[in-house]
C-alpha cells in the first residue's frame, strides 16, 4: 500500500522548475548584493573608511531585511526567489524576525524573546562552534611549526 501511495503522490505532485528557480535565486541574490554594494559605496563617499563602511553596510542590510520582514514583503520575496533571498545577510535578519513576529501574541518575554533565535540560533551556535574548532586546529598546527 505504501508503494501505491508514493506512486500516487509522485503522479499528482507538481514538478519543480529547477532552471527557473536557479535563475530567480541568482537574479534576486545578485540584486540584493548590488544594493549592498551601493550602500557600502555611499557610506564610503560620506567619509567612512573601508572597515567602518562594511560594518555600517551590514547593519543597514540587517535593518532593511528586518523591516521588510516586519511589513510582510520579505516573505513574499522569499517565496519567489528561494535561496536568492536566504543567502545574503538580509536572510539572516529574516530568520531572526519571522519567528519573533509569529509568537508576538504570547508577549515580549515568552513570545518574542523565547522564539527570537529559533531559526537562527542553531546556525549561530554551530557556526561559532565550528569557527572555534577550526581556530584551535589552526593554532595547534602553527604551534608545532
Q: How do residues 38-54 score in pLDDT, each as one tens digit?
A: 999 999 999 999 999 99
Contact 63, 93 (CB under 8 A): yes
pLDDT single digits (tens) 53-107: 999 999 999 999 989 988 989 888 888 888 888 777 888 888 888 777 777 777 7
Please name which of 102, 78, 104, 79 lies closest in space to residue 91, comparing C-alpha atoms.
78
Indicate whether 120 pLDDT > 80. no
Residues of the chain above pLDDT 70, percent? 99
Distance separating alpha carbons of residues 119 and 103, to the nearest angstrom: 13
Phi-psi region of 72 (alpha: psi -120 to 50; beta: other; left: phi over 0): left
CB count within 10 Å of CB 111 equals: 17
Amino acid at each position: 500500500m505504501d508503494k501505491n501511495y508514493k506512486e500516487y503522490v509522485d503522479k499528482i505532485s507538481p514538478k519543480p522548475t529547477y532552471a527557473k528557480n536557479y535563475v530567480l535565486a541568482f537574479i534576486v541574490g545578485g540584486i540584493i548584493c548590488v544594493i549592498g554594494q551601493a550602500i557600502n559605496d555611499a557610506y564610503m563617499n560620506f567619509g567612512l573608511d573601508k572597515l567602518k563602511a562594511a560594518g555600517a553596510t551590514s547593519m543597514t542590510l540587517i535593518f532593511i531585511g528586518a523591516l521588510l520582514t516586519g511589513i510582510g514583503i520579505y516573505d513574499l520575496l522569499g517565496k519567489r526567489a528561494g535561496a536568492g533571498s536566504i543567502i545574503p545577510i538580509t536572510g539572516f535578519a529574516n530568520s531572526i524576525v519571522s519567528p519573533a513576529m509569529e509568537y508576538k501574541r504570547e508577549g515580549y518575554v515568552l513570545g518574542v524573546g523565547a522564539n527570537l533565535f529559533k531559526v537562527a540560533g542553531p546556525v549561530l551556535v554551530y557556526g561559532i562552534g565550528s569557527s572555534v574548532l577550526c581556530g584551535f586546529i589552526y593554532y595547534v598546527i602553527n604551534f608545532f611549526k
